[in-house]
Amino acid sequence: MTNAKLDALRGRIDEINLLLLELLSERAAIAQEIGQEKEKQGVPKHDPIREKEMLEALVARNNGPFDTDAIRHLFKQIFQASLNLQQNDHKKQLLVSRKQKKEDTVITLGPVTVGGTKPIMVAGPCSVESYEQLRTVAASLKQAGVHVMRGGAFKPRTSPYDFQGLGIEGLRMLKEVASEFGLKTISEIVDPAHIELAGQYIDVIQIGARNMQNFELLKAAGEVRTPILLKRGLAATIDEFLHAAEYILSRGNSQVMLIERGIRTYEKATRNTLDISAVPILKQESHLPVLVDVTHSTGRKDIFAPCAKAALAAGADGIMVEVHPDPPTALSDAAQQLTIEEFNRFYTEVNKNGIVF
Ligand SMILES: C=C(O[C@@H]1C=C(C(=O)O)C=C[C@H]1O)C(=O)O
């Protein structure tokens, strides 16, 4: 083939490329409009029956030189790209999305803010056990300069024979001790019926990893105005995590904080695998504050501090860690709670130059 002939043919291909591009773009814009219509009607974006019908029609009209498989493959790619567009458009419309709200959501908890100028430290026992236990922890948190105390009253445990928590009585104890020491509180709620009541006792309602997709609980959490700390599920993708938060925002409660707590992988060196990359991704995709639970993600006291520092370096708005006056006697998570002395060392190391509230 002479160069002139080759150039001419390639020139035609260039022209056809441009025509295809124009047609593909026009097609894509129509697919986006269809996506908007589906959004309004609340129907799924993916329509495999429609795709099958189009493929059959195209294959029937195909006279070569591409064979049937090639035609199917090419058009499936086009359908997939259109579907991706529709799904991305949907994501941009989520209330949790940064595309909807550019500014960071800032949640005020007494003297501190979450998602504001400085990251916060949340610490406290795994479970509320006694007044004495709570007072000892509260006093040491106060002394260290920590403002928010956690403590579980409802404990969703793997085994039904393990300590299930003190329930409402535990919330009452938490409130009493926290007000003695001027601390704000976080505790997990597991029953939609307790969500409203919880607001009388605690400052932040935690929805635990096992309940991340308990949609009735999420809906109930959306009906109140108490801030919510939503934990990432044990095997939840970032997309599922954000959609779980969307349930709460969609019902009107915009005071939502996300917390990465490790995901299930094959790795056995840690209790779960701390997904540090989730922090910058969540911060990019969403305006909600993002915290990291170093206790449950790693389950290893010896690496809490470096993991907390890594989380802060990745942009986390806070760290959560468990502390107990006497971990070996703790009624839950005995192995991974810090003693008060260990907590003080941890906090000093993480809070170098006073970077944390
Ligand atoms: C555009 C639509 O949405 C999706 C994309 C399709 C396409 O690109 O043709 C077809 C079906 C759907 O999976 C549609 O439903 O028509």
> From ligand 1's centre to the CA of 36, what distance in Å?
12
50 Cβ inside 6 Å of ligand 1: yes
Q: What is the pLDDT of residue 93?
A: 84
Q: What is the pTM of this model?
A: 0.83
Dist. CA 207–CA 190, nearest whole Å: 7
76 Cβ inside 6 Å of ligand 1: no
**Cβ 179 vs Cβ 190: under 8 Å:** no
Closest atom of ligand 1 to 81 CA is 8
Residue with tokens 């409203």: 196
pLDDT of 134 over the 80 cut: yes
Return phi, psi of residue 112, to 5°: -120, 165
- On whether ipTM exceeds 0.95, the answer is no
Dist. CA 39–CA 42, nearest whole Å: 5
pLDDT of 39 over the 90 cut: no
Residue with tokens 């024979």: 161
The pLDDT tens digits of the residues spanning 324-349 come to 999 999 998 888 999 999 999 999 99
229 Cβ inside 6 Å of ligand 1: no
The pLDDT tens digits of the residues spanning 138-194 come to 999 999 999 999 999 998 888 888 888 999 999 999 999 999 999 999 999 999 999
Planar angle of CA 42, 100, 319, nearest 5 degrees:
110
Lookup: tokens for 151: 């403590």
| Atom 2 of ligand 1, nearest CA residue | 31
Mean pLDDT confidence for 46-59: 97
> From ligand 1's centre to the CA of 45, what distance in Å?
7
The pLDDT tens digits of the residues spanning 240-260 come to 999 999 999 999 999 999 999
The pLDDT tens digits of the residues spanning 112-123 come to 999 998 999 999
Enumerate domains of the chain plus CATH numbers.
3-92 (1.20.59.10), 107-354 (3.20.20.70)
Residue 251 exposed, middle or buried by CB count within 10 Å (0-12, 13-18, 19+): middle
| Atom 1 of ligand 1, nearest CA residue | 31
347 Cβ inside 6 Å of ligand 1: no
Pocket probe for ligand 1: among 82, 87, 88, the residue whose CB has the most ligand atoms within 8 Å is 82
Q: What is the pLDDT of residue 341?
A: 96
Q: What is the pLDDT of residue 1?
A: 64
pLDDT of 207 over the 90 cut: yes
Distances 330 to 15, 92, 126, 142, 154 between C-alpha atoms, Å: 73, 45, 8, 21, 15
342 or 93, greater pLDDT: 342
| Atom 9 of ligand 1, nearest CA residue | 79
